[in-house]
Amino acid sequence: MPMFRLLIAALMALTLSACKPAVETAGPAGNVVDSADVPDPNSYAQPERVRIEHLVLDLRADMQARTLAGSAELFLKWQDDKARELVLDTRDLQIRSVQGFDGKAWKNLSYRLDTADLILGSALRIRLPSALPRVRIGYSTVPEASGLQWLTPEMTSSKQAFMFSQSQAIHARSWVPLQDTPGVRFTYDARIRTDASLMALMSADNDPKAVRDGDYRFSMPQKIPSYLLAIAVGDVVFKPISGRSGVWAEPGVADAAAVEFADTEKMIQVAEKLYGPYQWGRYDMLILPASFPFGGMENPRLSFITPTVIVGDKSLTSLIAHELAHSWSGNLVTNSSWKDIWLNEGFTSYVENRIVEEVYGRELADMENVISQAGLAEALKSTPPADQVLALPPLTGRDPDEALSDVAYIKGQWFLMFLEQRFGRETFDAFLRHWFTTHAFTSSHSAEFERFLTVELLDKHPGKVSIGEIREWLHRPGIPSSAKPSVSSRFVAIDKAQAQWFAGDVSASELASSAWGTQEWVRFLERMPATLTSAQTAELDAAFRFSGTPNPEIAQRWYPLTVRSGYTSARPEIEKFLIAIGRRKLIMPIYAELAKTDDGRMFATAVFEKARPGYHPITIGSVEAALKAPEPKAKQP
C-alpha cells in the first residue's frame, strides 16, 4: 500500500470485540508462533472445506444509480467432499438469486444472509445438495458500498462521472460475494458494461488500445487474493511509458503523469535484477481523482495512484517504487491473514528503498529512511505495546483497515535492513529472491517466514544473527537494541540551518534553501518544536509560502504546526486543501490537530461538511472518528 505513512498510526483507533483465542505452537528454537491453521478471524469463509478457484463476473456499472449489478460465478475446489454449505463474505449486497451447476443444468439453491456484523458484514450461507463445482449468485451493490466510490462529474477534472474500487482490506465483499480473505487466491474473468463514453479497467489484462464501446472484457490468469480485485470506470486515456508500462488518467492529467513517472521502466528493471522476473505481464498505473483515500494501491497489472504525488520534480515517485515493489512482496507472496501485514508492507518498504537507491541514488534513499524511522518513533509513543510487534496475534474483533501502522511498514523494513547489514547485501539479496521464488503465488505467514529464515539464512551462516535477536524483532514491542538507525549527511546541513534561524543568526529568507527538495523540507518542518510564536510562523510563511503550497507532503506537516501555534491566517488554505484532497495520510493529521480545541473542531466540522461529498467512505469514517467530541467528564461528588 501507500508510501509516506508517517504519523498515521497515531491517528487510527482500533476496535475490539470478543472472539476465538489464538492458537499457538512452538516454532524454531522454542519461539512461540501462530499456527498456520488458525482461521482468518476477518472472514466468514471456510477454505478448509471449500475454496474458490476461479471467479467469473458479469456486471453493469450504472453511473447514475451508483450500483454494480449482475452475477458472480464461483468455480469451487472442495477440500471436504462431505461439506454441504458454502459460506461467503458479503457486506450490504442485495442478493437476488443463488444457483448451482451440477454438470448438466443450473438449479436454484437455498441460502440465507446472517445478521450483519459492524466490521465483517453478513455471512452468505448457501446450502448445496452435493459438492457442486460451480455456484452463480445474482446480486447488486448499494450506492454506499464501502469498497466503491462514485464521483459526480463535478468531482472530476474531465467533468464526467467516475467510479473506482478499494478492496483492501476486507471491502471486496461490498461489491462481490466471495471468500474475502488473503489466504484464498483465485483467477478471474470479467465482463463490465457501462456508458459507451467511459472506459472500464480492472486489475487484469487491460488493453492500451481498447476502443470505448461500453462493453469490456478482462482476464486475470494469475491467482490473486480478493483484496487485489479492482475495478474503475471513467473518462481516462492511456499514455505509454515503455513497451510494458504506461499510465491511464483523465485527459487533463495524463501527460503530466507520464512525465512524472517516466522512470517506471527503470524501476521494473532494477527490481527484476534484484528479485527475479516481473511475472504479471504489464505494469500500468491508473491516476485516480484526488479523493482516493490512499497514496497507492498495488492492484496487479494496474496500480491505483493518487495524483497528489505529481509535483513536477519526481521527488515523490518513491510511491511508484513502493507499488511496483508489491509485484513481488504482497502480490506474488501474500500475507495469509491481516495479522501478518508486515510480510506485505515491511518487505515492500525494503524493496522500494532498494529501487529508489538504484534509480535516484543513496542520498535520497537515506533521507527517506531517516524520515520514516523518525515517523515510526513518533507513532510508537501512542501505539499500545501489543501492537508494536511484527508477528501480531489474529486480529480478532478488529477492523484490519485500522490495524495498518508504521510498525508493519517501517519496523518491518528496518528488520530486513538489519538482516542485510548482518549477512551482507549479496547474501541477503539471494535469500530474499529465494523467498519470492519458492513462495510465488502463495499466501504465507510469520511462522513460515521465521522457519524459512532459520533454515535458509541463520543455519547456513552461523554466528551472524542469534535466535534471540530474531525473537526481539518479531515478537517484542519497540525498536530492538540491534537496530542501526539510518543517517543522512544532507540532513546535517538542514538541522544546522534550522538552528541558525532559531538562534537569530539568519532570517528565514536568508537560509540557503533554494536547492532543497521535498525531503529536506520535510526534515526542516518535522524538526520544528510543537509550537512556534506568531512571529515565527508568519516569517516562515512569508519566506517560503508554505500556506497554499502545491506540495502535499509539505502541506500535511505545515498545517498541523499552524494549528498548534494558533496561526489562523493559514485557515483559508487549510480549507482549500481539505476540500481538494481525500488522501487520508495527508488530511488526517490536520483534522486531528483541529479536533483538539472546541474552536478548531467547529472549523474542521464546517470544512468537513463541504468536503464530505468528495471523500471516499473509508476517509469519511476516519474523519468522523477524529472529529467526534470527547465525552463530557463526570462531575466530582
CA dihedral 595→597→599→605, nearest 10 degrees, is 10
Residue 10: beta bridge partners?
none
Residue 242: beta bridge partners?
245
Give me the catalytic one of 44, 409, 591, 615. 409
Mark whether 360 is an active-site residue. Answer: no
- Residue 238's φ and ψ, nearest 5 degrees, are -110, 135
Longest dimension (CA), the chain: 86
Kindly give the pairing relationship between strand 302-305 and strand 442-444: unpaired
CA dihedral 292→294→299→302, nearest 10 degrees, is 50
Mark whether 323 is an active-site residue. Answer: yes
Contacts of 637 (CB under 8 A, 6+ apart): none
- Residue 438's φ and ψ, nearest 5 degrees, are -75, -20
Q: Terminus-to-terminus CA distance in the chain, angstroms?
A: 50
Retrieve residue 534's grid coordinates.
Answer: 506568531
Amino acid at 229: L
Retrieve residue 490's grid coordinates.
Answer: 544532507
Retrieve residue 247's grid coordinates.
Answer: 499510465
Q: What is the DSSP string of 186-213?
A: EEEEEEEE--TTSEEEESS---TT---S
For 270-273, the CB contacts below 8 A with 24+ separation are 270/354, 270/355, 270/358, 270/359, 271/324, 271/325, 271/327, 271/328, 271/351, 271/355
Three-state SS across 129-175?
A: CCCCCEEEEEEECCCCCCCEEEECHHHCCCCCCEEEECCCCCCHHHC
Distance CA 102, CA 351 (A): 46
Task: Answer whether 167's CB lies under 8 Å from 230's CB.
Answer: yes
Give me the catalytic one of 323, 358, 448, 450. 323
- 449, containing H or E segment: helix 446-453
Nearest CA to 89 among 38, 44, 155, 138?
Answer: 44
**Gyration radius (Cα) of the chain, Å:** 25
Distances (CA, A) of 390 to 353, 410, 436: 19, 10, 19
Q: What is residue 9's three-state secondary structure?
A: helix
Q: Which positions are catalytic?
A: 323, 409
